[in-house]
Amino acid sequence: MCVSIVTLIEIIYFNIMLWGYILMAIDFIEILKVIFLGIVEGITEWLPISSTGHMLLVDEFIKISADDAFKEMFFVVIQLGAILAVVLIFWKKMFPFQFEDRRKPFIKYDTFSMWFKVAFACIPGAIVTLLFDNFIEEHLHTPVVIALALIIYGIAFIIVENRNKRQIPRIKHLSDITYKTAFIIGLFQVLSTIPGTSRSGSTIIGALIIGVSRVAAAEFTFFLAVPVMFGLSAIKLLKFGFSFTSSELIILTVGTFTAFVVSLFVIKFLMSYIKKHDFKAFGWYRIVLGAIVLIYFSIFA
């Protein structure tokens, strides 16, 4: 009992000291801004409404005190929090080894096979990112491009879902996805290099078009996100360097942790939602938001 009380006191003391250091190192208002950005990232990373698009739009109105090079890196690396959430939730499906039952093979070959399919699907996006990442950042990270992408793919969701009402998915389970199907989904993922498109949105639309069920499409998107976002984050970190100031490190840590916590709830919500509903609501949301952005920036730009 005494040990538990001492441990509790130590934890409380550590948290007080930690937050005291945070508040000394960075303005409290800045912390609130970063927490808000983490919430936006955690919500929009998994819903097919474009996390990058939302982050860039929010930055137009709520700017954190950091230079452009750091923000460019931050808007990508913060997504690692969301990725860690999906790894935690789907750990049993994603981890290719098992230690529980000695009667079963140590290696889960189905899981290994799925990771090979994911790697195959990543090839098109990796090529486009390496070749055109700088061009995209310089020319396409604009409110107009984001708004148009939101609207166009919002319409696409509605059209695809209306068409699918009359069709039965030919691929109902994650394990039914072949290398060919994975590669086609990977081709659709290339579209997500355009801000406002949504990585999850482009892969889900592609999967729905070729006959994958909503649940299998979402689960494959989760698998696909892990190497993609780790790869993109590595590129951004190498490009930025690892010489963070104390305030930059705090901003990155708080934003990533917030995105992680929020994503835990959003992923569970999405998986529950798509078992009973289609994606048209997200399509309409994208259209409305895109229209508002176009009107706003045509007036105030």
For residues 280 and 102, the answer to whether their CB atoms sit within 8 Å is no
For 225-271, the pLDDT digits (tens) are: 999 888 888 888 888 888 888 888 888 999 999 999 999 999 999 99
Tell me if 11 is assigned to some domain.
Answer: no
Q: What value does the mean pLDDT of the chain take?
A: 87
| Domains held by the chain: number | 1
Whole-number pLDDT of residue 232: 85
* 140, part of any domain: yes
2 occurs within a structural domain:
no
Q: Would you give the distance in Å from CA 275 to the centre of its chain?
A: 20
The answer to whether residue 3 is domain-embedded is no
CB-based contacts of 12, cutoff 8 Å, min separation 6 = none
- pLDDT, residue 9, reads 63
Question: pLDDT of 155-190, one tens digit each?
Answer: 999 999 999 888 889 999 999 999 999 999 999 999
Compute CA 84 distance to the chain's CA centroid, rounded to the nearest angstrom.
Answer: 10
Smallest Cα–Cα separation from 43: which of 33, 53, 29? 53
Note down the domain range covering 102: 28-300
Whether residue 88 has pLDDT greater than 50: yes
3-state secondary structure at position 195: coil
Q: Say if 44 falls within a structural domain.
A: yes
Mean pLDDT of 105-113: 85
If pLDDT is split at 50, 70 and 90, which confidence band does 1 have? very low
Q: Look at residue 217 and tell me if it is in a domain.
A: yes
Residue 301: which pLDDT band, with cuts at 50, 70 and 90?
Answer: low
Question: Residue 82 — pLDDT band, cuts 50, 70, 90?
Answer: very high
3-class DSSP assignment, residue 164: helix
Instruction: Look up residue 179 and give its two tokens.
Output: 């290398």
The answer to whether residue 66 is domain-embedded is yes
What's the pLDDT band for 27 if we cut at 50, 70, 90?
confident
Whether 293 contacts 147, CB under 8 Å: yes
| Within a domain: 40 | yes
